[in-house]
């Protein structure tokens, strides 16, 4: 019993630190992206965010008109977001964050819906508020996507895909509202035969199974006594499960990236979420104890440790077989891609440091061991950083100067043959230049072109310059409109003399506090 408290604290600390560590970079990337996507409420109270101008102006105007009417009727508040790319981030996660950041829908009814489309990942996501989950369950959301949007998206007709999808959603919402009021569920039928029998002779239908003393009969009957089942858990158990699922999603994404697919379809995430949580539930039901939450933490933590150990064990074995006969440079890259996603977790997972030590030693050997010349077979010499520049291209030298790529140059003295090997810096923010093709494009500065006000959004430009060829490009971004106290008050006086449709709609928008628990569905084309 003396180990309970320290082990409990250790498990909580380990799980929490692991979540914070693995989620830090992902969360920063998500927040950076979300800040660049304009909230439709900042665009003169429109309902469409089209930062990359993929949708036509006519489509945006038509959608705003439809969705404004739907919003004013109180049926639902729908926002549409169409972006070209979100990098390697997961569309479902971004849709969920956008929904809760923008608070789509009414606070009272949670009637918000976000239609989020990512062009380069060929992905459509519906994120529903709590109030629409009954009207738009996951199955219906996916059916609308598959039947009304995907066929047009495959043809590249994004305007038609969005228009048809929105129309189908509106039809569903209005149909549900009508049928819910006009077609109530029929009452449960009563077995009239049994009712008549009871009325006719209530005594005869009761089986005569007691003979003699009833007490004696039950005393002599060997009735098996089943052990009472314990509770599945409590609120704290739910919090533990939620934390574990968050960790499982992050680990699943890092160990088995699945761009364009929902995180819950990631095989690693599914495995980590289903088996350990099911084990906790079964233990709580059939082996109830007073400290179920402590046991839950221990079980979930041990399952996580076991999976990561098994992952590295089997991955190492398969890589050794797969990389047989490959060059040391190819082996270095393959091992790095396997281990680097979980760098820094070796201290949180018992026993993992031994894997990491072997990995570090192996990587050092793969990069620094002497290369044999592919021409003459003689040992080659690796040149130092000062002498290898003359064997590199100008763009490669530039990549080294900004620490985007490190190059090793091996030279064979007998035949003067050289080998050049590149090692990418995974932490570098430099991107590939569209003009020269080297990884030397860097962010330099940004400039505000038009400041945001309480009545309109602002805009600015981010400037990027290639360190190698000096090619430069700009990227426009939108600055969110400054929120005013009247924009969310719902005052009726704001529409007294205004002739602008956008200003009158701003005082009636229902998007003022909605939230989503992750409902909805996604489809790929």
Q: What is the pLDDT of residue 199?
A: 46
With cut-offs at 50, 70 and 90, classify the pLDDT of residue 344: low
The dihedral sign for the CA sequence 300, 302, 304, 306: negative
Q: Where does 302-412 show beta strands of DSSP type E? A: 381-382, 405-411
pLDDT in tens, 409-425: 999 999 999 999 999 99
Percent of the chain with pLDDT over 90: 35
Residue 262 phi/psi, 5-degree rounding, is: -60, 145
Give the pLDDT confidence score for residue 487 in this predicted structure: 42
Distance separating alpha carbons of residues 502 and 45, to the nearest angstrom: 6
Looking at residue 359, its pLDDT comes to: 84
Question: CA nearest 110: which of 94, 129, 124?
Answer: 129
- Supply the mean pLDDT for the chain: 78
Which of 2-6, 176-180, 386-390, 463-467 tops mean pLDDT? 463-467
Mean pLDDT, range 440-447, rounded to an integer: 92
pTM for this entry: 0.40
Res. 435: pLDDT tops 90: yes
Q: 149-184 in b/e burial notation, b at 16+ Cβ within 10 A?
A: bbebbeeeebbbbbbbbbebbbebbeebeeeeeeee
User: Helices (H), strands (E): how many in the chain?
Assistant: 15, 11
Q: Find out whether 136 and 128 touch, Cβ atoms under 8 Å.
A: yes
Looking at residue 192, its pLDDT comes to 45
- E strand or H helix at 146, and its extent? none
Residue 404 pLDDT greater than 90, yes or no: yes
Q: Look up residue 344 and give its two tokens.
A: 């820094």
Residue 135 pLDDT > 50, yes or no? Answer: yes
Contact 263, 518 (CB under 8 A): no
- C-alpha distance from residue 222 to each of 64, 207, 218, 340 (Å): 73, 21, 8, 63
pLDDT class of 489 with cuts at 50, 70, 90: very low
What are the pLDDT digits (tens) for 281-314? 888 888 888 788 899 999 998 998 888 888 888 8
The interaxial angle of helices 4-36 and 235-255, nearest 10 deg, is 60
Q: Which residue has the tokens 């129309």?
A: 167
The model's confidence at residue 19, banded by pLDDT at 50, 70 and 90, is: very low
Q: Is the pLDDT of residue 16 over 80?
A: no
Read off the pLDDT of residues 36-95 as tens digits, 9 standing for 90 and up.
Answer: 898 888 877 689 999 999 999 999 999 999 999 998 988 999 999 999 999 888 899 899
pLDDT for the residue numbered 212:
45
DSSP code for 1 = -
Phi, psi values for residue 335, rounded to 5°:
-65, -40
Return the higher-pLDDT residue of 238 and 514: 238
Summarize the chain as % helix, strand, coil (round to 5). Answer: 50, 15, 40
At 208-237, the pLDDT tens digits run 444 444 444 444 444 444 455 557 778 888
Give the tens place of pLDDT for each residue, 136-151. Answer: 998 999 999 999 999 9
Res 499: pLDDT: 37
Return the structure tokens found at 392: 């590199």
Give pLDDT, residue 117.
Answer: 95
Both tokens of residue 208? 């005569």
Per-residue model confidence (pLDDT) at position 235 = 84
Residue 165: pLDDT band (50, 70, 90) is: very high
Which range, 249-263, 277-291, 434-448, has the best average confidence (pLDDT)?
434-448
């Amino acid at each position: 019993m003396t180990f309970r408290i320290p082990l409990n604290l250790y498990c909580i600390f380990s799980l929490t630190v692991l979540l914070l560590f693995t989620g830090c970079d992902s969360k920063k990337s998500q927040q950076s992206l979300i800040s660049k996507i304009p909230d439709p409420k900042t665009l003169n109270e429109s309902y469409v965010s089209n930062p990359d101008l993929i949708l036509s102006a006519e489509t945006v105007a038509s959608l705003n008109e439809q969705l404004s009417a739907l919003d004013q009727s109180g049926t639902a508040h729908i926002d549409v977001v169409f972006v070209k790319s979100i990098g390697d981030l997961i569309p479902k996660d971004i849709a969920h964050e956008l929904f809760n950041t923008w608070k789509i829908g009414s606070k009272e009814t949670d009637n918000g819906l976000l239609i989020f489309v990512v062009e380069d990942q060929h992905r459509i996501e519906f994120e529903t508020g709590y109030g629409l989950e009954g009207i738009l369950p996951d199955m219906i959301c996916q059916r609308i996507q598959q039947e009304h949007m995907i066929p047009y998206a495959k043809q590249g007709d994004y305007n038609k895909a969005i228009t048809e999808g929105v129309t189908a959603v509106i039809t569903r919402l209005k149909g549900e509202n009508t049928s819910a009021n006009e077609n109530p569920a029929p009452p449960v039928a009563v077995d009239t035969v049994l009712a008549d029998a009871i009325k006719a002779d209530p005594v005869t239908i009761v089986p005569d199974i007691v003979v003699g003393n009833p007490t004696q009969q039950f005393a002599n009957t060997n009735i098996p006594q089943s052990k009472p089942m314990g509770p599945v858990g409590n609120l704290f158990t739910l919090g533990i499960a939620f934390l574990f699922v968050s960790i499982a999603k992050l680990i699943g994404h890092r160990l088995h990236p699945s761009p364009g697919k929902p995180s819950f379809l990631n095989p690693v995430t599914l495995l980590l979420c289903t088996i350990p949580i099911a084990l906790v539930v079964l233990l709580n039901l059939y082996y109830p104890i007073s400290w179920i939450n402590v046991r839950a933490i221990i079980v979930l933590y041990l399952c996580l440790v076991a999976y990561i150990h098994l992952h590295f064990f089997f991955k190492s074995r398969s890589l050794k077989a797969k990389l047989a006969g490959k060059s040391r440079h190819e082996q270095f890259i393959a091992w790095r891609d396997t281990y680097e996603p979980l760098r820094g977790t070796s201290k949180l997972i018992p026993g993992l440091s031994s894997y990491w030590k072997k990995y570090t030693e192996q990587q050092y050997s793969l990069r620094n061991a002497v290369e044999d010349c592919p021409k003459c077979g003689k040992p080659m010499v690796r040149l130092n950083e000062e002498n290898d520049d003359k064997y590199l291209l100008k763009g490669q030298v530039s990549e080294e100067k900004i620490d985007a790529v490190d190059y090793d140059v091996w030279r064979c003295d007998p035949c003067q043959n050289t080998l050049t090997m590149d090692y990418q810096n995974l932490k570098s923010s430099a991107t590939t230049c569209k003009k020269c093709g080297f990884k030397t494009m860097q962010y330099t500065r940004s400039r505000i072109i038009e400041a945001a006000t309480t009545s309109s959004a602002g805009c600015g430009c981010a400037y990027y310059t290639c360190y190698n060829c000096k090619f430069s490009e700009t990227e426009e971004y939108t600055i969110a409109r400054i929120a005013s106290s009247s924009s969310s008050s719902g005052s009726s006086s704001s529409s007294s003399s205004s002739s602008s449709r956008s200003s009158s709609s701003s005082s009636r928008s229902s998007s003022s506090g909605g939230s989503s628990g992750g409902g909805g569905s996604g489809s790929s084309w």
